[in-house]
Structures are given as structure tokens and as C-alpha cells.
Amino acid sequence: MTRRLITSGSTFEAEIGYSRAVVDGGWVFVSGTTGFDYADMTISDDVAAQADQTLRNIGAALTEAGASFTDVVRVRYILPDAADFPACWPALRAAFGDVRPAATMIQAGLADPRMKIEIEVTARIRAD
């Protein structure tokens, strides 16, 4: 398999120089993704709504890569305020509850103060 780059259409990708995801062999590496709606570059003020949109953005990248949430083996959650994490759990459980990938939650500043959560995943496409 060759290396393939996946874009979301976000202006950030071209401005900064990265891809939403990279497919290399059977691996899919999805960059840290936030709750921006890339169609109109808006973002909710609500952390739970941002988590939902972030997962939609990740899901779109995984689908384009030929993968899904069931293929995710590693997830990293990054939040500026760790106290916001529990509000995200319902959305995270819906995406990963049955998959149960290895996970880490980190409290750290994000690039834009409107961002309340960033999620990065690694997936392995299973050969049938």
C-alpha cells in the first residue's frame, strides 16, 4: 500500500502544513481534531457539542481512509480544562464504548481559545 493523505478541507491544514489523516499501509493516523464544523468554520461554545462535532470530523476521515471507529486502537483526548472531560463521556462512549481503544487524557492549552477538546486517533485497518 502507498501512503495517502486525507484532507477535511479545513483552512488550517494548508496554512500549517499537515493532513487530517495519513493512511500508511494498514494504519490510519488521524491528526488532532477539534469541534470546528469545516463547512462553515464555526465552533460551538459547548464542550459536549464540540466533542460530538470532533467525532463527526474524525469519522469522516476514517471513512475516507476505509476505516471506522471499530478500527481505532489508540485515542488521545486533549482538553484545556480537565473538569470539562466528563461532559464529553456520552459522545466518547457512543464512539468507543464497544471498541475500548487504549486511551490517554491530557490537560493542555489548545491553539485557539474557542477549542475545548481535541482528539487524535490511530486506527488499524483489518485485512479480511
List the domain boundaries for the chain: 4-124
Order across the sheet with 118-124: list the strands: 4-6, 21-24, 27-33, 118-124, 72-79, 102-107
Does CATH place domain 4-124 in 1.10.3720.10? no
Confidence (pTM): 0.93
Average pLDDT of the residues of the chain? 94
Per-residue pLDDT, 62:
97
Stretches in the chain below the pLDDT threshold 70: 1, 128
